[in-house]
Chain A
Amino acid sequence: MGGFFSGLTSFLSPFFMNPAVFLPGAALISAPIIIHLLNRLRFRKVRFAAMAFLLQSQKQNKRRILFEQLLLLLLRILIVLLIASLIARLMFSPNQLALLRGEKSHQLVLLDNSASMQDRWGETTAFDEGKKIILKLVEEGSQRPGTQKLTVILLSEPDRPFILGEDINEQLLIKLAEDLETLEPSSRALNLIDGLQASLDRLNDLKAVSRTANIITDFRESDWNTQPALKEMVKSFEEADIAVNLVRSVTERHQNLSLVGLSGDLQTAAVNVPLRLTAQVRNHSQTKADGVRLTVIQDGKKLPVAVPVAGVEAGETVAKSFDVVFATPGRHQLEVLLDSDALDQDNSRFLTLNLKATNPVLLIDGDQEAKAAAVVADALAADPTLTGIAPLIQSPDYLRRNSLENFRCIYLINVGALPADAIVPLENYVASGGGLAWFVGELTDPRFINDTLIREDENSLFPVPLAPTWSDLPRASEFSPGPDLEFTDHPLFTIFQGEENPFVAAVHVDRFFPVAEEVTEAGLREEGRVQTLVTLRNDAPIMFEHSFGQGKIITTLTSAGNAWNDWSTNPSFVIFQLELQKYLAKRYEKQHSEEVGTPIELAVDAARYSQELEIISPNEQTAQLQMTREEVDADDDSEDFVWKANFTDTNDAGVYRVTLFDNDQLPEERWIAYNPPVTESSLKLLSKDDLEDRVGQSDQIAIQSYDDLSWLQQADAQQEARMSVLAALFLIMMFEQFLAYRLSYHTRTSGA
């Protein structure tokens, strides 16, 4: 019986807000019937004389009376039913008619789970509030099971709905509460447009009678400023006759500091050599932030001293440099932390590096004595523990016999003609990203350079053809002072810029190799392949930069040592050499840092590595992957192929440890630091009015404030047919009265 009652209640629930009230109310329809029957049973007796007329009347009016009495009874039953409907709050709308045909309304929830939804205040976050709104929505809907369907789309996965078209009922509420309990926002910057488009596509595919898109987000101004198409997207919902609820899940703008950058010259990092890192702190608040400090966590261990940062003005970014020292070679990770605030996610930044004991630099000197190379070696590593650079001075023959792969960069100093089997490995080295520095000298062979190294296809190891012989540059007289070297605006010389540098001014170049006559500066500029970095006092270019493959080549048309100039005796020489080494090595040692959400894409040589791949996430979860085989487009007929992997589960900030296995199953690790997106840090919110200005006023689009969940019930109230029922009740009661009056006898008043 209870089951029957509950079944009946659930059947009625689409039509009544309080279906349980309706049933007892509906039972009252028996009241008029019972009264009618009682009246038939309880009558008074009259002995009557004129029965003939009475029987005649009864015979003539039998059908009419029966009809009228039934009509009256029906009307009274209807009145009872309508009153019961009023109390049970009947809902009646065209949608309900469609419900009777088995169609349902569809509630789609697009939940923003971008990093900014981690915005925390008190014991809750914007994301938690969003989850509560969903549960509330389902709770409201579950009071009328069988009328609504729910789809929940997370902004991070618009193509994979979290919930897809499930009936809203008690079971779903329980299930959803469990599922949402463990759901956490991602650390990614997400595109609201993608989510809206996916939602629109889903809803357009549905045949539901009414479709509502509930977009739960934090209404950050930066989202709407950087994505003007959002407005058009919201409008397209309106055009598709889909109601849009823009629901805010954040109370107000909260103060937030974020780390927007962490960088350093990792290419020069070496064991026990202090590595200078620079962290950038941005204040997204409306007030100045004081007492900011950085906590550095090195390989999981917090450094004892925090790095203080001077006050950061509102809206400003401050860079703070600090040194860290690593005692062991190998892979390391570094995390810099800000103190906790509203958005914790952007308070940390990660960095990985593969530290070597030393950074080997190959110095090839054509001279047997290798004096120039020694000068450079001294400049690079007078004390290897200070720079971490291990210079290796070799003759040109070294190029032919040894692998160059492990060198950070290679210096070719005063080298004559090189054999072909030395040129090829050199070209391979540079093409794969290695750095090369040329310094000319007495042994430099212009003919070899012009004929062998300079190529017609503009892909040459040497930038420009040289004049047949060197030139001297007379010392400047006292009457024409000025530095011999004119630096251009280039990162190599950033350290010398700013103010007049007495050291650089003191450098004298006595001899240099001029470029071939047919090469003019205007021609070089036009060609664009070669960039002139330094010119001499006589405007002759003396230093160039050009690319070869992925590598960079810096060519200096004077000696490295003190044979043709006195730079090596000047303190700026050491600085220049260290900068040069960093610059050349930079591209080679690419910093492995990505923004969260960017997939890990790998393509490795299938001949060298096995198919297995292991990725350990920052939360120590290990993923075992099988890479897919893919053919390589090779010019020849060889059947080379590579293993490719695409790992998309990179929603957490931190270090992802990718382990490849070679054919001997020896592991090879690659560490990739994933950092939170800087675009998610600004928590400046759009006010309701501003948002209204942007999306425009429309009946289809409703903007719901935080803490105001009345719209959840409002949807029902709009459907409640109170007025209609009242009007019907009034009309029926009028008709009933009219009929009852007509059927009953009334004495005439004396005045009538």
Chain B
Amino acid sequence: MTQDYRKFLRPEELSRISRLEIRARQVVEGFLSGLHRSPYYGQSVEFVQHREYVSGDDIRRVDWKVWSKTDKYYIKLYEEDTNLRTTLLVDLSESMLFQSGAMSKYDYACTIAAALSHLLLKQQDSVGLYAFDDTLRKRVPSSSRRNQLHAILQALSNEKPAEKTDLHQILRQVADDQSQKGMIVLISDLFTDFDKLCKGLTQLRYRGHDVLVMHILDDQELDFEYTGTTRFEGMEEAGDLICDPRALREGYQKAMQDFLFDLRRFCSKNLVDYQVIRTSEHMDAALLHYFNHRVGMRQAVQK
């Protein structure tokens, strides 16, 4: 039962669904129906904690039961009251077009972005979108309106990746734009300058944003299982190379793992949540990771 829903979330199955909206819905609904214990119960909002009443607070939220027992005024705090603002940063650079399996990183990223948007909007949260390559391509301001999902989907589907990535500039712009603290979800393959990426992420953290990095990578980019003489033509003007990939595999993997290790270390140091997601993985992995992050964040708040 636990794994049954996953058969609907396989990237190869989802790839057949052309419309992103349906795909997002499929992911979210499949995901929600598959969970044993969902932290969301229908339309109700969840109690988080009590807070001592201060003047100016709405007296309707005073917990009278507590008053009756302790003779003190406490106000119930509900989650919906946190008013979560999530900004999705989706990388639309050329490297995201790489595809060895059923879905390209671009498709996968878009699907995740759409699914997250769908899910968040369903919870009345506000969601915004930045689609970028070396510059900002599309921006959908945060909103929790009903048609927000449509705007996001339109923004994603209209873009065709063609350019290089410049994350630093985008992250700086996002940091500048998002004066209000919120959650920033970066969905990218992160094939950009490492230092600039770190700098950008640091800026976001500096501004108090909660940053979640979904590092989308193709299987071949991680495993590098090419055989036979191959001419690798670099995307984003990275140059060409004719080689026997088997001979370079070990070195490549080491370089990749070093990169991932450095990234992970940086993220953990800067309290940036970081997750590598393979395009061959089930879509719910990303969502699950998101919710884990949310829960972790909530627990951190509760403590």
Q: Mark A53-64, 1 if CB is under 8 A from B, else 0.
A: 111111011000
The answer for the CA separation of A475 and B23 in the assembled complex, in Å, is 171
Q: Name the residue among A40, A56, A745, A747 with the largest chain B CB count within 10 angstroms.
A: A745
Cβ contact within 8 Å between A43 and B230 = yes
The answer for the CA separation of A83 and B259 in the assembled complex, in Å, is 47
Residue from A43, A52, A60, A68 in contact with B228 in the complex, judged by beta carbons closer than 8 Å = A43
Q: Mark B231-251, 1 if CB is under 8 A from A, else 0.
A: 111111011011111111111
Given the known inter-chain contacts A43-B229, A46-B226, A51-B232, please indicate yes or no for A60 contacting B238, CB distance below 8 A.
no
Residue from A45, A53, A65 in contact with B230 in the complex, judged by beta carbons closer than 8 Å = A45
Decide if B255 is an interface residue (CB 8 Å cutoff): yes
Residue from B227, B228, B234 in contact with A51 in the complex, judged by beta carbons closer than 8 Å = B234
Please, which residues of chain B bring their CB within 8 A of the CB of A57? 248-252, 254-255
Decide if A295 is an interface residue (CB 8 Å cutoff): no
Cβ contact within 8 Å between A61 and B247 = yes
Cβ contact within 8 Å between A47 and B233 = yes
Please, which residues of chain A bring their CB within 8 A of the CB of B243? 54, 58, 65
Given the known inter-chain contacts A61-B248, A61-B251, A745-B249, please indicate yes or no for A46 contacting B232, CB distance below 8 A.
yes
Cβ contact within 8 Å between B239 and A55 = yes
Q: In the complex, what's the smallest C-beta–C-beta distance from B272 to chain A, in angstroms?
A: 21
Decide if A752 is an interface residue (CB 8 Å cutoff): no
Given the known inter-chain contacts A48-B233, A51-B241, please indicate yes or no for A745 contacting B225, CB distance below 8 A.
yes
Cβ contact within 8 Å between A50 and B233 = no
Decide if A743 is an interface residue (CB 8 Å cutoff): yes
Residue from A42, A43, A50, A744 in contact with B221 in the complex, judged by beta carbons closer than 8 Å = A50
Given the known inter-chain contacts A58-B251, A61-B247, please indicate yes or no for A50 contacting B191, CB distance below 8 A.
yes
In the complex, which range does the number of interface residues on chain B fall in?
Answer: 35 or more
Please, which residues of chain A bring their CB within 8 A of the CB of B238? 48-49, 51-52, 55
Cβ contact within 8 Å between A54 and B95 = no
Cβ contact within 8 Å between A43 and B242 = yes
Q: In the complex, what's the smallest C-beta–C-beta distance from B298 to chain A, in angstroms?
A: 35
Q: In the complex, what's the smallest C-beta–C-beta distance from B234 to chain A, in angstroms?
A: 3
Decide if B284 is an interface residue (CB 8 Å cutoff): no
Cβ contact within 8 Å between A51 and B255 = no
Task: Please give me the residue from chain A that is nearest to B94 by CB atom.
Answer: A49
Given the known inter-chain contacts A49-B189, A53-B252, please indicate yes or no for A44 contacting B231, CB distance below 8 A.
yes
Cβ contact within 8 Å between A44 and B228 = yes
Please, which residues of chain A bring their CB within 8 A of the CB of B246? 743-745
Q: Mark B82-98, 1 if CB is under 8 A from A, else 0.
A: 00000000000011111
Decide if B125 is an interface residue (CB 8 Å cutoff): no
A697-752: which have CB < 8 Å to B? 743-745, 747
Residue from B98, B229, B241, B248 in contact with A49 in the complex, judged by beta carbons closer than 8 Å = B98
The answer for the CA separation of A61 and B241 in the assembled complex, in Å, is 14
Decide if A39 is an interface residue (CB 8 Å cutoff): yes
Cβ contact within 8 Å between B233 and A69 = no
The answer for the CA separation of A51 and B94 in the assembled complex, in Å, is 13
List 19 other contacts, CB 8 Å, given A51-B232, A57-B250.
A40-B242, A43-B231, A44-B229, A46-B233, A47-B232, A47-B234, A48-B232, A48-B234, A49-B96, A49-B236, A50-B221, A50-B252, A51-B234, A54-B243, A55-B238, A56-B255, A57-B248, A57-B252, A745-B245
Please, which residues of chain B bring their CB within 8 A of the CB of A60? 251
Q: Can you identify 25 A-B contacts, CB atoms within 8 angstroms?
A: A39-B244, A43-B228, A44-B228, A44-B229, A44-B230, A44-B231, A46-B230, A46-B233, A47-B97, A48-B232, A49-B95, A49-B105, A49-B235, A50-B191, A51-B232, A51-B238, A53-B252, A53-B259, A55-B238, A56-B255, A57-B250, A57-B251, A58-B241, A65-B244, A744-B246
Cβ contact within 8 Å between B218 and A54 = no
Q: In the complex, what's the smallest C-beta–C-beta distance from A6 to chain B, in angstroms?
A: 41
Q: In the complex, what's the smallest C-beta–C-beta distance from A513 to chain B, in angstroms?
A: 130
Please, which residues of chain A bring their CB within 8 A of the CB of B218? 49
